[in-house]
Amino acid sequence: MLVDVIAGARPNFMKIAPIIRALSDRRATGGRLRWRLIHTGQHYDPRMSGEFFDQLGIPAPDANLEIGSGTQAEQTAGIMIGYERLLFAERSDCCLVVGDVTSTMACAISAQKLHVPVAHVEAGIRSGDWSMPEEINRLATDSITNWFFTTSDYANENLRRAGVDSSRIFFVGNTMIDTLLANLQRLKPPAFMDELGLKSKSYFVTTLHRPANVDCADGVSELLDAIGAGCRGLPVVFPVHPRTAKTIRNVSELPANVHLVEPQPYLEFNWLVKHAKAVITDSGGITEEATVMGIPCLTLRNSTERPETVVLGTNELVGTNPSKLGPALDRVFAGKWKRGEIPPLWDGRAGERIVDHLERLLCDLDGGL
C-alpha cells in the first residue's frame, strides 16, 4: 500500500522527518506501507528547503512539482494540477499532509477528488483568524480529511465541535517536537556567533514573516525599533525570511543591536533559540519549540492556533502593537517569565504512533489483512 507524504514549505520538513523515519523502520521489519515523498517546490531556496533535508536526513523527494513563487491561487492551482498528474500516473492509497501551508490544502483537494483518503497531521488547530492564509488552509483541509492526527486536546475539541466523529481523531502528539528531541544533542552554533558577540542568555532571537507584520515597511520599522529598545542594547539575531527581506529593503534605519542574518538551517536556528534569553516571533511552530526548550517566547500576534503553548508553555501573546513589547520584555529581564511545562504526548514518539494508526487503517480498508 502506497502512502504519499507531502511537503512543500519550510515548516513541513521537520514535521515529515519522523514520519518518513517511522515508515522506513516499519518497512525494514516487514511492514506493508510503501511511501512516496512529494515536494511541491513551494519553498525552493536551499536555505528554505535543501538544507533541512540534508540536516534532518530526509531522503531526496521522489517527485518535485517545482511550483515556486506565486499568489495563493496560482500556487494552489499549480500544486493541484501537478499532484493530480502524479496520481493519474500512479494512484496512491493515502495522501498524508502536514501542517497548514498552501501545499497541504492543495494536495488534500486533488487527492480527495480522486477518492484517495487524506490523513492530516496537525489537524484541528484553529486561530479563528480568517485573515491568515494558514487558517483558510486548515479549515479547507480538515473539511475533506478522513483521518485526523492531532497535537493537543484543543485540536480534538475543535474537531468534535465541527462534527468530526471521535473514531476518526487520533491524538498522537507532535512530530515537530519528535524532530526537536531527536536533534537536541546535534544543535550547533552558527558561524557568526563570535562576530555578533552572542553569549548564552544574553541575546535575543526574532523572526517575522506574517503578512500583517511584514508587508509594510513602516510597520516593520516600528516593530524593530520596539524590539531593539526593549532588548536594552543586547544583540538581537534576526534570520530574515525572503518575504520579509523584500520589505526590509525599504526600511531606512535599523536599531544598532538588531542583526539581520540569512534564514538559518535547522540545527543552527534551534541552537540560537536554546541559548537565547527569549524569542520574539510571529511564527506558530517556534512557540512549540521554545515551550519544549523552556525559553520565554513573546508572540507578536493577537491570536494563536496553539493555545497549549500559552496555557502550559512559555509563550505569551503580546499582540501586534509595538508599545506592548517593552513591558513584556521588562518581565523577562526581571526574571519573572513563567517557566512552563511540556504539553501531553510531546514525547518524541508521534511519528511512530501515526504510522501505527495508518498501517491499521489502510489494512482495514484493504480488507483486513
**Residues labelled as active-site residues:** 209
Least separation in angstroms between residue 73's CB and ligand UD1 is 11
> What's phi and psi for 118, nearest 5 deg?
-110, 130
| CB-based contact 264:244 (threshold 8 Å) | no
Which residues in this chain contact ligand UD1 in the complex, by CB under 6 A?
9-11, 42-45, 48-49, 69, 100-102, 133-134, 209, 241-243
The CA-to-CA distance between both ends of the chain, in Å, stands at: 11
Q: Following DSSP, what letter does each residue of 78-108 receive, concatenated?
A: HHHHHHHHHHHHS--SEEEEETTSHHHHHHH
Return the number of the residue (20 or 240) whose C-beta is nearest ligand UD1. Answer: 240
Least separation in angstroms between residue 9's CB and ligand UD1 is 4
Return the number of the residue (214 or 355) whose C-beta is nearest ligand UD1. Answer: 214
The Cβ of residue 302 has, within 10 Å, a number of other Cβ atoms equal to 13
- The x, y and z cell numbers of residue 265, run together, are 538551517
Least separation in angstroms between residue 82's CB and ligand UD1 is 15
Least separation in angstroms between residue 236's CB and ligand UD1 is 20
**Strand, coil or helix: what is 259?**
strand
Q: How far is CA 215 from the centre of its chain?
A: 20
Return the number of the residue (66 or 90) whose C-beta is nearest ligand UD1. Answer: 66
Rg (CA), the chain: 20
Return the number of the residue (26 or 301) whose C-beta is nearest ligand UD1. Answer: 301
Least separation in angstroms between residue 44's CB and ligand UD1 is 5
Closest alpha carbon to 113 in 137, 81, 148, 138: 81
CA gap 7, 13 in Å, rounded: 6
Return the number of the residue (102 or 174) whose C-beta is nearest ligand UD1. Answer: 102
The CA-based angle 343-347-349, given to 5 degrees, is: 135
Q: In what order do the strands lie in the sheet with 2-7?
A: 63-64, 34-39, 2-7, 94-98, 118-121, 147-150, 169-171
- The x, y and z cell numbers of residue 57, run together, are 536526513
**Strand, coil or helix: what is 154?**
helix
Least separation in angstroms between residue 43's CB and ligand UD1 is 4
Return the number of the residue (122 or 308) whose C-beta is nearest ligand UD1. Answer: 122
